[in-house]
Amino acid sequence: MSRPRIFPSSGFTILDPSVKFEEENLPDYLEERYYPVQIGEVFNSRYQVLTKLGFGSSSTVWLCRDLHNERYLVLKVHVRTRQQLPEVQISKHLKAIKEFHGGEKYVRLVLDSFEVPGPYGVHPCLLYEPAGIDIRDYIHCLEGDALPEDLLRPTLRFILIALDYLHQANVIHTDVQPNNILLGIDDESILAEMEEDELSNPAPRKCLEDRTIYATRAMPLTGGEPILADLGEARLAGGNQTGLIMPSVYRAPEVMLGMNWDSKVDIWAVGQTAWTLFEQGHLFKNQSLENDTDRAQRFAEMISLLGPPPLEFLRRSEESLKFWDENGNWRTSVSIPEQSFESRESRLQADNKMLFLGFLRKALRWLPEERPTAKELLLDRWLRGSDY
């Protein structure tokens, strides 16, 4: 077991305490929800915080060192809650499965979890293997702000392998999107460099009476294989499920209409994710879908690209009668856009374009049972590419 390192108590930029900084800029930020993490702090008598990696509405994220096993890990310190996080249960379920699949290495599981008491309540803490930036941030580093086709195909193959592993284990991810696809780390020396940089060049920070808010240290670009992350919204289930899931911009039609849903929602999300990564924008307009007008506009977009939904699909939910009549005719005042996949897709030509759109049409079907499984979609001709 190694000894904790001593981090500088001076030599860093102190920011104006009256100016909002980092997580304070989030619209729902309340300081009493967040645990006041200190760089150098040791959690659970084992994990020493080294530098800040990020923040969100539900947590702050830190690079840490496991003093027992001499390895780097990522520590996520959640906002206060007394509820057990579903991600912990699902990770335990997956780690208990003894059969080898191959997709295990492409899913980021919780390695350890514990709780820490804060000034205002209890905070769950989760530990993960380190990973690089998400693929959306990676794309911003590329010319054209989009993923090239020769990188898109292998990325989607890794994600489908991960989903096949999850689905065979009766886990539905429900939140497949670019922000949850992380680059792997093929050389952990970058983590040692980040630790040393925090010692020699401490992060700027805002010092308040009861907490310090640190600047996030950017993760360097890495070249490892992509990993599917964030099981925070995942469901452990073998059959049909109910309830609202998925970010609104990626939401599957069966979820929008309050129908039962299953693992095929993840296949729908893969299709939309493929478009986002390749086409410099979302397939559908990013709306909240909180009212019938928003939903009518989204369904109109779907009709323009996928054709009208089968009656068999519409009859599974009385909600559909708000938008279609008993015979499946569109009944709202929202007009159907004049567009097609062919008119929207602008980066490919001839056979490649036809094959890519064929891949999308497989994933984006109205009837969930007509969408292929993750394993079946891996056999798609466009996805396999010329090398397969």
Residues 79, 58: contact at Cβ < 8 Å? yes
Of all residues in the chain, the percent with pLDDT exceeding 90 is 92
- Residue 76 among known ligand-binding residues: yes
296 contacts: CB under 8 Å, gap ≥ 6? 322, 323, 332, 334
DSSP per-residue string spanning 73-106: EEEEEEPS-SSPPHHHHHHHHHHT--S--S-GGG
Query: What pLDDT, in 10s, does the model give residues 252-298?
Result: 999 999 999 999 999 999 999 999 999 989 999 998 999 999 999 99
Query: What pLDDT, in 10s, does the model give residues 201-237?
Result: 999 999 999 999 999 999 999 989 999 999 999 999 8
Per-residue pLDDT, averaged over 65-73, amounts to: 96
Note if 175 is an active site residue: yes
DSSP per-residue string spanning 151-215: HHHHHHHHHHHHHHHHHHTTEE----SGGGEEEE-S-THHHHHHHHHHHHSPPPEEE-SS-EEEP
Confidence of residue 84 (pLDDT cuts 50, 70, 90): confident
Catalytic residue among 66, 134, 175, 230: 175
Of all residues in the chain, the percent with pLDDT exceeding 70 is 99
Confidence of residue 382 (pLDDT cuts 50, 70, 90): very high
Query: What pLDDT, in 10s, does the model give residues 20-62?
Result: 999 999 999 999 999 999 999 999 999 999 999 999 999 999 9
Instruction: Give this prediction's pTM.
Output: 0.94
Per-residue pLDDT, averaged over 125-149, amounts to: 92
For 42, the token pair is: 């040791």
**Identity of residue 289:** L
**Quick check: helix, strand or coil at residue 228?**
strand
